[in-house]
Amino acid sequence: MSSHHYSPVDAEDLPGSYRYRQKTLQRWRFSMFLSFAAGVVVCMIAYPRLLPCKACAPCEKASPPVNVADVASRAAQIAVSKCPACPACPECQHKPCPACELSCPKIPECPSIAAAPAASQPDDAEVVARHRTKMLARDMVNIAECKPGQVCRADALNRSRVIGQKGITLWMTGLSGSGKTTIAEALERRLLYKLGKNVFRIDGDNLRTGLTKDLGFSPDDRAESVRRASHVAALFSEAGVITMVTLISPYRKDRDAARALHEKQGIPFMEVFMDVPLSVVQARDPKGLYKKVAKGLIKGFTGVDAPYEAPLHAELTLKNSELPVEQCVDQLVMALTAAGALSGHAMPDGLTPPDGGVHINRITTAPEALLARRKEAETLPKVPLTDIDVNWLQVVGEGWAAPLRGFMREGTLVQTLHFNSVLHDPNNVTGDYNSATTDWMQSSFPRERVSSPVPIVLPVTDFTRRQIAGAGAVALTNAAGVALAILRSPEVYELRVRELIHRTFGMTDDEHPYVKELLKPGKDYAVGGEVELLGKITYNDGLDAYRLTAEELRAAFKAKGADVVYAFQTRNPTHAGHAFLMKDSRQKLMARGYKKPVLWLSPLGGWTKASDVPLDVRVKQHQEVMAAGELHPDWTVMAIWPSPMIYAGPTEVQFHAKSRRAGGASYFTVGRDPAGMPYSSDGPGHEEGDDIYHPDHGRYALMSSPGVGGMQFLGFSKVYYDKKDHTMRGKDESRPDDFISISGSKMRKLAALAAKPCPPTIPSDLIASKCIPPGFMVQKGWEIVSDYYIRQKTGDWVPYSKQLGGLPLAPNMRSSAEQPFGKVAFTAHFVGADGAQISPWHNLALYPTASEPSFVNFVCEIPRGVSAKVEIHKSVPYNDLVQDVNKDGSPRYYTYSPSTVNYGAIPQTWEDPHHADAHTGLGGDNDPIDVLQLNEGSCVAGAVQRVRVLGALALVDGGETDWKLLVVDVDAADAPAWRELGDVPAERVNEVREWFRLYKTSDGKPPNEYGLNGEPIDAAAALAVAAETHALWGGAGRARCEFGGEPCWGMEARRSVDWRSAGAAVFALLAVAQLYFIVTAVQRKRRALAAASPKKKR
């Protein structure tokens, strides 16, 4: 048996023992360390050689040298981080730990150079997007962009004026199926076919067949689609096209970028959000896309599984699931109108622009400029204005007849008469056509026309025509001689009045009130030209607060938050029928989508015929209607429209509507027979009282007129009083007996009868019952109207806008504020140094001093340049200065021209009608001697001046001698050194002589004549005439002086006493008489008692 040698074995070295495990783990760790070291060496050698440098990094430059230390460090970090470690075995005594299998991952193989691009290569769309981004971000060099406003391109403002619309981009955004295309198509039809506007629609689906065919639906591609569409839209809009873009454009940043592009180029941009819930568009599903999404056939669909970011500040939001398509289109048209896109004109206040798009304001307001122009006006030839002329001056000066800037030149008048429109050149491409003198051989004309229905002319006499001949400018003066405006480059032409009447009125009726004004004799010419108002025109009649200029009125509308303005014109008091129409019009506008319609209650303020209701009565009545809430002040502005009324029916109403555009009105409420009236006389085919125009023609002509521009109309039919519910409304044909017609004439009769409220049962015959039904008119308003008709003949009314005051008075004059100059009852009385009232005829001396026999006292009645006939009156107490009147009671004016001299009288003289003058053989004119002061400056009414007598003219007026002394004020600062008539320039004498011969011809009277063949007498003879008439004034013959049946000298006798003393004397006499009667009565009583008592016996 072989012997074996066994080494002794420790029990702890046996497998499974704790010591055995520790030794095994130590050997394993040592082997792992060797493996790790070998891995590091391998990586150090192989890693740099296997780097995919050519596929992963640009190869334009050589790779930098490899840092071996860094590579080794990185390899070690990778190895350590990837290699797991066994958890520490807890201290357990003689208990084995759980098995722990440890393995270190292999070193990953570096990808080969050929395989590297395949792992990181982007798809084609990503590559294209990156390239596009890079190209868009690059700097543009060698590019010469033609920007708007530069010479190379017409600016947008002028372009829009020429084509009559303004380019704008409507960016319509919303979910698929939200109605973008449907509403855009309807809007396109409205703009193109009804409004004649150039419009184009850019649709997303159409773009994807061409311009954006290369794009997908990724966020980057959607952004690019929006960018391209916005640039295309900007080009269209800059060209003046109203451009609609219908894109879903889901991302807010992309739409904001489109807006920013437009804003940068100055192009209007309007974001329109189709606010429709997802459930509604899913139900609509016009393209069947939502069904495909539901089936999973389409992924990333906007609004479902892709985002849609709704606008935060869209200009317009259309909840078209709640509104019909037409109403959505209405709102879009409203928005376009407010933006000025449909007119092509600037709209800074959001209201409709005036006709022609140009805001006209010819008022000079700057203090320095106003002072300079007023000084200039003093040096210019004067053109007098009537009340009607002043009204028209206000119309053209404040812009109510835009684009007219003054009285019509002849070419403008011809166009108005034949076309009811005028050519307009807002861009001045035809050489200032709008203000150039008419050129009958002109061949190049503007292409734009604007409405011009009525002639606005300034008639003048032949005398005025010759006075202003060759002047570069003239001053336009009122009846008080105050310059209201300067008219530049005057164009004087023959005024063919009959042609004007027939073309404007289309009828023959010489008694027609406005036609009668036009036919007044003497004014055979007209002056045209642009005006500059010397300040705002005011009338000082208590109503100026309601006279707003066009600019002031627009500001008042905006202050009330108006998004639309509608005008209602009235020249009658407002009754419930009118209020019904105005409130109904407001409801119609709100139904169209307007939020704050504002009513312009627009009483006509200019000249009207005598039978019309006075302006102040209408304004006060309107105030009561507003105060009662019938027309609420929150949405009503009352402002007087300054135009005169010409009663031209369908022609005139077109001007009424056109003019309201200047104040910002977009709508005009029009009823039956606007601006119409009956014939005033019999004529061929008609009788007095027949309607001149058919009641329905005016409204129809207005609503179908080609020249109304953007004005729209709210027509209405006749309204009746409903006896059942006590309101004014349209007639209900199912119960006709419940309705009463209350015409204007019936209302006037009821007012004149002082009709009281009707009983509960309303009678059908209101006139017979003398009652006014409840609810017909605001009670306080009715009281104002009734008071007028009761006191129509005796009241002091403001019939129309007529300037009051303005006539300068001397310090020694006193007048009443209640009866200022301009009213028929105007009176100014003279006072002496002690303040007591005196007569300028009887209490002033003829001669200033006895030592100066060649001088006389001159009392100024009519200053030079004044056209009102003011005179010392013989039949009123103290011979006050009063307004002379015509036979019909109206104020008398010089219609031929303003006075060319300072006109007045000398006191204590009298031209006796019964005394034959030695020079003419005719009696006197029953007046003090008239005086013509020849100074260039103007005197002041009522002033008393020391003047030198130079000569006299023997005027023969109506077969009576009417001496005109020629004098000069030697004390004036600018007094000429004239001592006798030969010193006066002959042309000055001739001018005065002709004026007084012809001045009545413009009133239809024959020319005056002169004695002595029109040759003036010298100073000595003139002083002899003054002395003779002075003797007649103081002689016995003065008892023959009378005026209107009143003895002149009886008046003088009464005026010569002290009224206070006279009154005291009268009261004393009455007291004495009363005492006498008392004493007499007592004595009589005593006698009666004595006679009745028994006699005593003696």
Candidates 926, 956, 919, 900; CA nearest to 841 is 926
Q: Cβ(758)–Cβ(771) under 8 Å? A: yes
Quote the CA–CA distance of 847 and 845 in Å, as a whole number.
6
Bridge partners of 424, per DSSP, are 448
745, with CB counted inside 10 A (0-12, 13-18, 19+), is exposed
**CA-CA distance, 676 to 685, in Å (whole number)?**
18
Measure the CA–CA gap between 139 and 787, rounded to whole angstroms: 82
At 139, list the tokens. Answer: 């700097």
Contacts of 832-837 with CB under 8 Å at 24 or more apart are 837/878
Burial of 111 (0-12, 13-18, 19+ CB in 10 A): middle
Cβ proximity of 929 and 963 under 8 Å: yes
643 counts as catalytic: no
Does the N-terminal peptide bond of residue 453 adopt cis geometry, omega within 30 degrees of 0? no
Nearest to 344 by CA among 403, 426, 262, 401: 426
Which of 411, 445, 384 is CA-nearest to residue 529?
411
- 3 state DSSP class of 196: coil
**What is 532-590 written as a DSSP string?**
EESS-----SS-GGG---HHHHHHHHHHTT-SEEEEEEESS---HHHHHHHHHHHHHHH
Which region, left, alpha or beta, applies to residue 149 given φ > 0 means left and ψ of -120 to 50 means alpha?
left
Task: Decide: 614 and 788 in contact? Cβ < 8 Å.
Answer: yes
Distances (CA, A) of 1001 to 110, 222, 699: 120, 84, 41
H, E, C per residue of 419-479: HCEEEECCCCCCCCHHHCCCCCCCCCCCCEEEECCCCCCCEECHHHHHHCCCCCEEEEECC
Tokens representing residue 807 in the block: 């006539």
Dist CA 396 CA 10 (whole Å) = 131
Q: Is 863 helix (H, G, I), strand (E, B) or coil?
A: coil
Helix (H) or strand (E) holding 153: none
Cα–Cα distance, 64 to 158 (Å, whole number): 64
Nearest to 931 by CA among 865, 846, 1008: 846
CA distance 198 to 468: 49
d(CA 583, CA 598): 10
Q: Which residue of the set 249, 343, 585, 938 is catalytic? A: 249
What does the CA dihedral 987, 992, 994, 1000 come to, rounded to 10 degrees?
Answer: 160
Amino acid at the residue 407? F
Confirm if 485 and 397 have CB atoms less than 8 A apart: yes
3 state DSSP class of 382: strand
Residue 724 is encoded by which pair of tokens? 């059942």
Decide the pairing of beta strands 930-933 and 960-969.
parallel
Nearest to 847 by CA among 972, 1028, 1027: 1027
Q: How many CB atoms lie within 10 A of CB 305?
A: 10
Catalytic annotation, residues: 249
